[in-house]
Amino acid sequence: MNISYILNDCLFEHNYEVTSLATNGIRYLISGSKDCTIKVWIVESNRPTTLYRTLIGHSSIIQDVAITQDEKYVISGSWDGNVCIWDIESGQCIKTIKHQSQIMKVSYIHQQNGNFISSITSDGTVMIWKLFFKKIKEENQNEEEKEEEEEEEEEEEEEPKFYKSYHEKGTFNTSCAFSTSADINPILCTSGSDREIFSCFDEFRNQDKLSNNNEFKETIRNDIDDNNDDKNKNVKIWKHDSKGIINYLLFSPANYFISSGCSEGIVCLWRYNNSDEFIKLNCNSPVNSFSYNPVTLIISTASDDNILIWDLEKKKILTTIVIDDFDDQLINKENKDEIILKFKDLERDKEYYKTQLKYHQKNSDKPLIRSLSICWFSYNIIFVACDDNTIREYKINNIFQN
């Protein structure tokens, strides 16, 4: 039995393409856009999703966003070369990490010994930063001692804990992903335009030890002797099985899979601890993003043409969501009039838009709207960021009956 879906809601607050989404599936949805803003949305069961706050401070396109596990902070990466840390409650940018080139991806992980973010830049550099370092403060500490510790923590955040370029010279980074579990030894993977995926497991741990002495070092892959048998001793390498450029990289829940999606519509999934276990999905259109269902082995892929929801165990498509489909049967009846009214206010010149998308869509019968980012909020709710400035909220039905 195929699962079904309805368009539950449509969010219209951005003024340009929505490029990225992030959520922990608790309360907030975070969105980044080409309008240089980040928006924080409140998602509640059986109630419309509402805009809580707009974060303003970047001077260029927001390429990626992330949210911390406790939902207190938002992390954003922009083409202005800055990674910003935002306090959700106040809406203030509490820290800016400056880079030398455009930010392509940011990723966050909560660990027992601290919280980390990674950033990759268009010049091929991967950096890992240790943030919000937790120190147990004694109850009898006076305010002066607490302030001194806080100042030390702020200083500790200034330098990256890990700094490396994995890909050949002339190759640009395309994505990165932290492992999803709070293991003491985090895993970071990075992909490049060379279609290679690198994992730095032991290297991160070793560099983190060095960082206690405020030290870090840069290692360039090209400086390693090709005849050295130990050159990949601490680095796992996967090769994306397609000629397309990798657009997105992600770990599945519990780190079962490391997965990549590319411009030729191919999604590759490897069992992290057993690279011989391999799944290849053909989406027939450039894959911009994908997301794992939080409770079952289902993955949703966002491409230039549509949204595909896959059953990974059976390796089959469960349903196809056509973004531009406004059939009466597919819109939530409670929100139907409001959604349609909003779209009338947002009406565009369709012929001009077809011309703009001619490079991506050779067949004019295909949908006019591309999905750029996607995330599961809960087991049956998906949010999709689109290039018509909107975020679609879909409710998936019969998900456990297929």
3-state secondary structure of 219: strand
Would the pLDDT of 108 be above 70? yes
- The predicted structure's pLDDT at residue 117: 84
Round to whole Å and give the CA distance between 145 and 123.
Answer: 41
Across 258-275, average pLDDT? 87
Round to whole Å and give the CA distance between 17 and 371.
Answer: 10
Please give the structure tokens belonging to residue 109: 């992980």
Across 62-90, average pLDDT? 94
Rg of the Cα atoms in the chain: 21
Would the pLDDT of 173 be above 70? no
Would the pLDDT of 349 be above 50? no
pLDDT tens, 292-340? 999 988 999 998 888 999 999 889 999 999 887 555 556 666 666 666 6
Residue 359's CB: how many other CB atoms inside 10 A?
Answer: 8
pTM of the predicted model over 0.75: yes
Round to whole Å and give the CA distance between 114 and 182.
Answer: 10
3-state secondary structure of 209: helix
Round to whole Å and give the CA distance between 234 and 203.
Answer: 6
- The predicted structure's pLDDT at residue 231: 42
pLDDT band at 241 (very low <50, low <70, confident <90, very high): confident
Taken in order 183, 19, 82, 55, the sign of the CA dihedral is: negative
pLDDT tens, 194-240? 788 877 655 655 555 544 433 333 333 332 233 334 444 456 678 88
Q: Check residue 135 and report its DSSP letter.
A: -
Bridge partner list, 20: 32
Range among 49-58, 250-259, 356-365, 367-376 with highest mean pLDDT value: 49-58
